[in-house]
Amino acid sequence: MSNDKEMQQSFEESGSIYPKVDFITIEKLMEKVTYECHVVKNTTTTVIVGMIPIGPINFTLCTEIMACVDPRNFNKEKGEKYGIEKAAISAKNKLWELEGYALANSMFNK
């Protein structure tokens, strides 16, 4: 799968010159994203929340879940590590969606 920079370059090489969300914008926003991990009591489930600050609040971008079937396999650190990786993908996808909406809204609802 192409990364965002390669995808944008491919579109531009094919003549896409009109307004679009830039991968650099998304990368800068991703630098602000933070994650909180919570192990659900008496389960093998870790809930990961990806957030970005907006003014005085943290806006929730995504929620992901990591779990294992057998409690003997439960590893808190690995659940958090891989859960954050999973949440980062979801957060990035949500930022593309939200930034695309904001751009379209600014272009067509003046």
User: How many other CB atoms sit within 10 Å of the CB of residue 23?
Assistant: 17
Q: Is residue 9 part of a domain?
A: no
Number of domains in the chain: 1
Q: Is residue 29 part of a domain?
A: no
Q: What are the pLDDT digits (tens) for 20-79?
A: 999 999 999 999 999 999 999 999 999 999 999 999 999 999 999 999 999 999 999 999
State which residues form the domain around 58: 34-105
Residue type, 42: N
CATH number of the domain at 55, please.
3.30.160
Q: Is residue 10 part of a domain?
A: no
Collect contacts of 3-12 with beta carbons under 8 A, ≥24 apart.
none
Global model pTM greater than 0.75? yes
Q: Is residue 81 part of a domain?
A: yes
Q: Is residue 48 part of a domain?
A: yes
Q: Is residue 4 part of a domain?
A: no
